[in-house]
């Protein structure tokens, strides 16, 4: 009877899990108690189930902060994760610059999301990788070890097996993977410099990252060098090469904006669409790493895409 009535409220048709809080458990918030009982699910997912009414406490809909103690009966109607249907092969176009039995180097076009996520569960690079390389279904995240923003073009490496993935992740953690980006920035940045400022979520605008009072900041280091300067639409601009030590979300974009030189076309961080820039002018141009298979070091360079090249042609370069 309970399941029939609850199904009318939007619960899953699957049989619910009925859990009893053990006698030795300490009274705590419902989401924390549930996270301890169902460790295979993230706490944020469990909170979502509670808020949507998919968790009952002694037969009544629970609340996230509700105190729950020993002996309480929790009825949990598990819901499919949004990403459950995301990891499917799809014919997504992208260019492969090189591959071995252990890795694939991709030149990602601007506009392509790297990995499924909220609002982008299909049509991602991951879907395309699964279509072109079906064996990647056996590797976590289809072998993806680092990402590029949707509107950032350029190079990233994908592991073809778990051993190679572990090796590449450790290289990233040890900061031995070389990643160099080409950027078009506003103003006249110094000839060279380093931005060493922690990056975290912007407290006021959730889609932005910030270096000014960020939430949960993480260390972030970007080295940059000004390659040449010019003028477009009467405003000074520069071609800059950025080298990452760390790989935080939006790192180059927020670091360059933080020193007063946002990227052309990067409206989220104050950049202007000078020279016809239709996106942030950022391209992952060079990538180098140690071959997980034991071969010599591997390096690649991706040509500047047409849209950045066209903007560069609009700039009157001075040096």
Is pLDDT above 80 for 1?
no
Neighbouring CB atoms inside 10 A of 41's CB total 17
Q: Residue 149 catalytic?
A: yes
Give the pLDDT mean for 279-301.
97
Place of tokens 């619960």: 11
Q: Residues 14-65: pLDDT tens digits?
A: 578 889 999 999 999 999 999 999 988 889 889 999 999 999 999 899 999 9
pTM, entire model:
0.75
d(CA 120, CA 116): 5
pLDDT of 11: 38
28-29 and 17-20: which strand pairing?
A: unpaired
Which residue among 6, 31, 102, 149 is the active-site one? Answer: 149
pLDDT of residue 270: 97
Phi, psi (degrees; rounded to nearest 5) at 201: -65, 140
Residues facing residue 67 across a β-bridge: 29
Residues 6 or more apart from 39 whose CB is under 8 A from it? Answer: none
Q: What is the pLDDT of residue 86?
A: 74
Mean pLDDT of 272-289: 98
What percentage of the chain exceeds 70 in pLDDT? 94
With vertex at residue 42, the alpha carbon angle to CA 247 and CA 206, rounded to the nearest 5 degrees, is 50
């Amino acid at each position: 009877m309970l399941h029939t009535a609850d199904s009318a409220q939007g619960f899953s048709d699957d049989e619910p899990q009925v859990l009893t809080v053990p006698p030795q458990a300490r009274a705590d918030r419902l989401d924390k108690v549930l996270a301890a009982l169902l460790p295979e699910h993230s706490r944020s997912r469990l909170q979502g189930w509670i808020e949507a009414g998919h968790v009952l406490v002694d037969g009544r809909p629970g609340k996230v902060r509700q105190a729950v103690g020993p002996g309480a009966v929790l009825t949990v109607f598990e819901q499919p994760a949004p990403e459950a249907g995301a990891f499917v092969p799809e014919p997504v176009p992208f260019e492969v610059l090189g591959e071995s039995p252990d890795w694939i180097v991709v030149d990602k076009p601007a506009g392509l999301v790297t990995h499924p996520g909220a609002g982008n569960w299909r049509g991602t690079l991951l879907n395309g990788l699964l279509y072109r390389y079906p064996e990647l279904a056996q590797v976590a995240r289809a072998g993806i070890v680092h990402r590029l923003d949707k509107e950032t073009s350029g190079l990233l490496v994908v592991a073809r097996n778990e051993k190679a993935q572990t090796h590449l992740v450790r290289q990233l953690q040890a900061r031995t993977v070389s990643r160099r980006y080409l950027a078009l920035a506003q103003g006249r940045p110094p000839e060279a410099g380093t931005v060493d400022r922690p990056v975290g979520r912007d407290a006021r605008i959730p889609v932005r990252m910030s270096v000014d009072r960020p939430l949960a900041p993480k260390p972030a280091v970007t080295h940059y060098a000004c390659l040449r300067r010019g003028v477009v639409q009467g405003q000074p601009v520069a071609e800059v090469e950025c080298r990452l030590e760390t790989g935080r979300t939006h790192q180059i974009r927020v670091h360059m904006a933080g020193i007063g030189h946002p990227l052309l076309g990067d409206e989220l961080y104050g950049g202007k669409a000078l020279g016809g820039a239709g996106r942030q002018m950022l391209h992952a141009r060079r990538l180098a790493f140690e071959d997980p298979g034991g071969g010599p070091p591997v390096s690649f360079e991706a040509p500047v895409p047409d849209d950045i090249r066209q903007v560069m042609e609009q700039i009157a370069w001075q040096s």
